[in-house]
Structure 1
Amino acid sequence: MKTLAEIAPFVRLALPWSYIGEAAEGTRVGYAYAFHLFTEGRGHVLVEGTTYAVEKGALLFIRPGQVHSFHHQPGFAMESYNAYCDFWEKPTALNPRFAFHPAPPEPSLMTRIEGCPELDSLPTKCSLTPYPYLVELFMQVSKSFESAHYAQQITGSLMQAFLLRWYNSFTSPNPSDYRILRITEEMERHPERQTSYEQWCEKCNLEKSHFYKLFKKETGMTPKEYLLKMKMKKAIVLLQESRQSITSIADQLGYDSIHYFSKQFSAFYGISPSRFRSETTI
């Protein structure tokens, strides 16, 4: 069995596309792994007899050999970024990407398929709206496809990074609500900021009680607990990778007192900041 880390993507083609009801959008079978990130439009995609509604931010992952077709709602072209990939070996020739109905698919043209439980666990459809960094990363695959130099290496590396980060976002207990995700990302970037509950609620456009319940549901922690976790995470980095004094680090993290910082650090990690630094710094 393989893991996602063993995948070495070769991107056959990556490009923006508009689905407007052309014949090529009808029933077909793909020879490669296909990804479709929709940025505009309305409609649905039929994959192996299952209908998946299309909306902005929807990602469709279609495996080799799956029968599928695209259906836009009249008056609403479906805009997407598409990527067609081989995962386990680079093809010796640029083979066709599809077999179109009613022609049967040619087995010899199918990309190599390996057993990979992590890849198999990824959904056929999901929304990337809560993950703007994944949207940008995937779009960069298409934008880099026509690079003047090292296009194959760039797109392959970007596609691998996308797959690994997508898998992490899908399997890790990160917030899925975009309002809470926005707050947790801000806490991680700037744990030193003295932001009040009222300001967090205003950014989420939620009542205080609703914000508190939703935050805890999404993260398993209260906002204060999550913020403390981010402060302690940054404290570790500063203690290991900077020569700042502990007083300076406490001040940088928004503490008025080095004693309170040391107390929280010791309670969180079971060791004082000074002892941690002496034991982990060469």
Structure 2
Amino acid sequence: MSRVGRRLVSAGALVVLTSGVAVSPATPAAAVPSMVFVTATSPVDTRLGRTQVVHCPADRRILGGGGYVGGAGREVVIDTMMPVSTPTGDYFEVNASATTRADGTGFRGEWFLVAYGICGRAPAGLEYVSAASATGFESTHGVSVSCPGGKRVIGVGGEVTPAFGFAVLDDVVPVTTLTSVRVTAFETETDSPVRWGVKAHAVCANPIPGLTLVSAASPGDSADKTVGVSCPTGTKVHGLGASLAPPLGEAAITALYPSQPLDHVRLEAREDFTRYAGNWTARVHAICAT
């Protein structure tokens, strides 16, 4: 099913190489201390959708995170990855949903969901900001959110709302200047029966030492994608993002997660059940700092 021409944000050609953009603020803050990597895994069962959260230790704040769908092939997709800060503690939330095929059927096998979180003591100026798109029956929605007052993005998040498997995240990305986050989603081949939209989330802070955005792109072909990117030596992953171009809802993110040493980010994206006829590219992003 073609959705060419209905994309909210047009994407230029992506080159298969790693790129990095360093941010050089006038007055950087101290590095984030006491960073930790946390994970939590759901039960394995046949439910159509599930939410998994992973909590930061009591004295840490959520910076970024990701998710992984296991056992579902190409028929369960991640439709929410977002940092959540509350008065009683911070966590990272991931939601995944089974997509509905054009004939109304869907995946009924067993699968599980893993949530990953990156936590640390609060850097100077830590702030969580969000923005929501309008809702409707359109095939695509997008929204951006900016950090206020000279702060920079150190973590990102995006969500489809409501998350029923009729729309998939396409872009959850920080801009190259690390001043804002963009989120875009597309309907799958089965149009949503309800009004839907997207939300963008940014973790902002005063600029921290070594703050750099690094990215890598997959080959532009018609195969499923796996691509990774590493932080520069001496820096750690604080936040992570992904973008797909241009499957327009016919491919989706099934895994986006940091490595255990917080030096690498891996993205996995798969075409849907009926496959995408053209070539497409997946790009992974890591926000790194000392």
TM interval, short-chain normalised: under 0.3
Superposition TM-score, scaled by structure 1 size: 0.25
Superposition TM-score, scaled by structure 2 size: 0.24
Higher relative contact order (CA 8 A, sep 6+): 2
Query: Which protein is bigger by CA-based radius of gyration?
Result: 1
Higher helix share: 1
